[in-house]
Amino acid sequence: MNLASIWRHPIKAIGREAMTEVQMDRSRCLPLDRHWAVTHENTRDTGPGWAKKANFLRGVSGPQLMAVTAEMAGDGASVVLRHPERPDLWVKPDADGDELIAWLDPLWPGDLPRPTGVARCDTGFTDIPDPWISIQNHASHRAVEQRIGQPLSIHRWRGNLWIDDMDVWHEFDLIGRRLRIGQAELLIQQRITRCKATMANPDTGLRDADTLAALRSWDHQDFGVYAEVVTGGVIRTGDSVEIL
């Protein structure tokens, strides 16, 4: 098995970017993954620190967000956002919240509470309070494609690490086991239950595939697993993946 790709999502539910090398730290999420999140009019909790996903804009409610891509600047404070229906935006989320909100507003459904501001969490606004990393299996993705009968972008799943040459759904058998990837070791903690956000095409922002029905055909609604970094170190695309 090998590490096929690494993906970071600087703003929760809004944008993704590829990485080729990253320093993993013990009990931390991928550096700057879900570092920011956008609040809305019904937000009740913005921290400090982690807060529940219902407080923020999400792809399950706004599928157009799924079509955003991101590129972080070297300073770790700036992000370039791109969407097929919006002009490119260079923004510092900590300082330019109003610009970010104005850019996002046309992409957010008109009947939902409006975007209001930007929150920050140094440990990451992951869907769960634990600072874990998501691992996905390309073979399982291909199985979902075959079940649906159409090609699917891997970005529907918004995963961090993608593994090649693993058997279909074998990741679910690894709960409680460790993986060595490059210099790092990760403990597989639990399966990831999916929502309607995965039904949206990341190229168009339109819902065009019933991924949840496909998953339920295997008697579950899960895709990918969460893992905790137990030994830090550098990982790179192409690194071998070993089950310990």
Condensed to tens digits (0 to 9), the pLDDT of residues 120-142 reads: 999 999 999 999 999 999 999 99
Q: How far apart are CA 68 and CA 52, in angstroms?
A: 22
Strands 241-243 and 233-236: unpaired
Domain boundary among 120, 148, 182: 120
pLDDT for 45: 81
- Same domain as 20, residue 138: yes
- Same domain as 212, residue 137: yes
Domain count, the chain: 2
Which phi and psi (to 5°) does residue 167 adopt?
-65, 155
Q: Which residue's structure tokens are 């496909």?
A: 214
Q: How confident is the model over 212-240, as a mean pLDDT?
A: 98
Q: What is the CA radius of gyration of the chain?
A: 17
* Cβ-based neighbours of 147, under 8 Å, separated by 6 or more: 214, 217
Q: How confident is the model over 47-63, as a mean pLDDT?
A: 93
The vertex-150 CA angle with 5 and 160, nearest 5°, equals 20
Q: How confident is the model over 211-220, as a mean pLDDT?
A: 98
pLDDT for 129: 94
Q: Per-residue confidence at 46, pLDDT binned at 50, 70, 90?
A: confident
Query: What is the value of pTM for the model shown?
Result: 0.96
pLDDT for 47: 73
Q: How far apart are CA 162 and CA 168, in angstroms?
A: 13
Q: How confident is the model over 6-16, as a mean pLDDT?
A: 97
DSSP state at residue 184? E
Give the three-class secondary structure for 65.
Answer: helix
Domain boundary among 120, 151, 175: 120
- Same domain as 91, residue 160: no
- Same domain as 136, residue 238: yes
- pLDDT tens profile 168-210: 999 999 999 999 999 999 999 999 999 999 999 999 999 999 9
Q: How confident is the model over 147-157, as a mean pLDDT?
A: 97
DSSP state at residue 172? G
What average pLDDT is seen over the chain? Answer: 96
pLDDT for 150: 96
pLDDT for 111: 97
- Same domain as 137, residue 92: no
- What is the domain-level CATH number for residue 202? 2.40.33.20
Domain boundary among 120, 143, 169: 120
Q: Which residue's structure tokens are 């060595």?
A: 180
Percent of the chain with pLDDT over 90: 96
- Same domain as 139, residue 238: yes
Q: How far apart are CA 240 and CA 237, in angstroms?
A: 9
Type of residue numbered 205: G
Residue 75 has pLDDT above 90, yes or no: no
pLDDT for 142: 98
Domain that residue 48 falls in: 36-120
